[in-house]
Amino acid sequence: MAKGHRSQIKRDRNENQKEKRPSAKLSYARVSVQKACFVLDAIRGKDVNTALGILAYNPRYASRVIEKLLKSAVANAENNNGMDVSKLYVAECFANDAPTMKRVHPRAQGRAYRILKRMSHITVVLDEK
């Protein structure tokens, strides 16, 4: 039987399972998952300088959002984990569904069509080579 209080045992277990890689997450980004994934697929597995170069010259709206997120992840790695920026690369990056805003668009003869304004949660995880 483990020693200590149940909450202390859980705290210790969660501390051991905690993710050690630096990351950054943007919740409720006003871009759809499909459009964000086009940009994320382009930078996955690349080193940070190459990924920032790709994002700087990508014309999509999502690339501006992801560029800020990647810079945030790099700052987290440098300041919180003490990692060397030149050795960092994009280990994981993905977008998940967020709640969808539902809007109504008036149409002919009193009808109303629904407009779905999709959002996403975008996550970027870095690692050292």
What does the pLDDT look like over 51-71, one tens digit per residue?
A: 999 999 999 999 999 999 999
DSSP sequence for 45-65: T-BHHHHHHHHHT--SHHHHH
User: pTM, whole model, 2 decimals?
Assistant: 0.83
What residue ranges define each of the domains in the chain, with the CATH number in brackets?
20-128 (3.90.470.10)
For the chain, give the mean pLDDT.
Answer: 93
Tokens 């994320």 locate to 40
Mean pLDDT of 21-28: 95
Instruction: Provide the pLDDT confidence category of residue 2 given band limits of 50, 70 and 90.
Output: low
DSSP sequence for 83-95: --GGGEEEEEEEE
